[in-house]
């Protein structure tokens, strides 16, 4: 696509790339959810790295890796969105900004790679929403099926398979399954999988319907909403992972209480008050 063709088609593409939810609302939603999520992510990462027991626990390696992969999205992708919502265009309007935005959005969120230089559209979110390699049929289908859709389906299958494997392993060594010992793991798997599936799966179902022949105008606005809601799976993942670290939860709670005004936790005792009235002698 040339620069002229890109400029002429900006208006048409822009109308299909914007959701009806006003930009100021999206701006503040991202700010309100992203800030505590980033703080929670750094807290978990530092806790795992600094605590030797947590660092050597294999189940924490996946959490640590996911949090590290999600951080560029929260620190780069989200901030570029905030700048775009504020100014109405990509600022600064430089190719390197679009490459960095694409890397954070596709390289970390979907797992794709930036393969070639493209024409950048500075009046659209994510500089045109997708790198130009997605214009090629086989690369676009590979990106959608292998890097995106299959990972969503495998997440639920692997989560259920892990619980089944624990059950079968217990039976093999003739031990009774004490589910209360695995309650934390089950709750964590349920929270992480349910949040991710409920927010990401509808988007890919609509995209799959379009791939199968459904006209693009059907479900386009709904797909934009689900794309936006997909960021909340990233925001909520650190909080869902906190169930694995009760000591860290307690520490964070104590820190929050220490920061809040002490007057909120002070209670003035209320009880009967005895007042002594001096007697006045009459002369």
Angle formed by the axes of helices 78-87 and 95-102, nearest 10°: 130
Counting residues of the chain whose pLDDT is more than 70, the rounded percentage is: 55
pLDDT of residue 57: 78
Most trustworthy range by pLDDT among 21-30, 52-61, 269-278:
21-30
Distances (CA, A) of 241 to 103, 209, 271: 25, 32, 46
What confidence score (pLDDT) does residue 156 get? 63
Helix (H, G, I), strand (E, B) or coil at 91: coil
At residue 36, the pLDDT reads 93
User: What does the pLDDT look like over 272-282, one tens digit per residue?
Assistant: 556 555 555 55
Work out the mean pLDDT of the chain and round it to a whole number. Answer: 71
Least confidently predicted of 99-103, 224-228, 235-239, 267-271: 267-271
- Cα–Cα distances in Å, from 83 out to 17, 33, 71, 94? 17, 16, 18, 14
Mean pLDDT for 255-274 is 62
pTM (predicted TM-score)? 0.64
CA nearest neighbour of 134 among 191, 207, 205: 207
pLDDT in tens, 194-224: 777 777 777 777 877 877 888 877 787 887 8
Dihedral Cα 165, 169, 175, 181, nearest 10 deg: -40
Q: Compute, in degrees rounded to 10, the torsion defined by CA atoms 190, 196, 197, 200.
A: 170
Average of per-residue pLDDT across 87-108:
80
pLDDT at 63: 81
pLDDT in tens, 133-174: 455 455 555 555 555 556 666 666 666 666 676 667 666 666
The domains located in the chain, with CATH, are 3-252 (1.20.1070.10)
Helix ranges restricted to H, 73-136: 78-87, 95-102
Q: How big is the CA angle at 68 (ends 29 and 138), to the nearest 5 degrees?
A: 85
Concatenated DSSP letters for 135-152? GSHHHHHHIIIIIIIHHH
Q: What is the DSSP letter of 131?
A: -
């Amino acid at each position: 696509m040339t620069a002229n063709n890109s400029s002429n088609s900006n208006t048409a593409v822009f109308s299909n790339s914007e959701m009806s939810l006003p930009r100021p609302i999206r701006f503040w939603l991202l700010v309100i959810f992203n800030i505590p999520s980033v703080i929670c992510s750094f807290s978990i990462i530092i806790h795992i790295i600094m605590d030797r027991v947590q660092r050597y626990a294999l189940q924490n390696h996946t959490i640590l890796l996911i949090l590290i992969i999600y951080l560029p999205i929260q620190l780069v992708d989200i901030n570029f969105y905030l700048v775009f919502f504020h100014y109405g265009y990509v600022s600064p309007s430089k190719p390197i900004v679009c490459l960095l935005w694409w890397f954070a959005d596709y390289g970390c969120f979907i797992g794709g790679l930036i393969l070639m230089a493209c024409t950048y559209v500075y009046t659209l979110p994510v500089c045109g929403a997708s790198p130009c390699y997605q214009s090629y049929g086989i690369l676009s289908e590979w990106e959608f099926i292998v890097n995106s859709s299959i990972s969503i389906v495998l997440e639920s299958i692997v989560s259920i398979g892990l619980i089944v494997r624990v059950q079968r392993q217990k039976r093999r060594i003739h031990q009774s399954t004490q589910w209360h010992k695995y309650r934390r793991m089950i709750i964590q798997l349920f929270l992480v999988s349910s949040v991710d599936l409920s927010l990401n799966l509808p988007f890919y179902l609509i995209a799959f319907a379009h791939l199968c022949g459904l006209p693009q105008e059907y479900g386009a606005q709904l797909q934009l909403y689900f794309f936006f809601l997909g960021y909340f799976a990233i925001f909520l993942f650190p909080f869902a992972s906190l169930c694995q670290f009760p000591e860290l939860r307690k520490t964070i709670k104590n820190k929050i209480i220490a920061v809040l005004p002490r007057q909120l936790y002070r209670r003035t005792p209320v009880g009967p008050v005895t007042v002594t009235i001096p007697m006045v002698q009459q002369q």
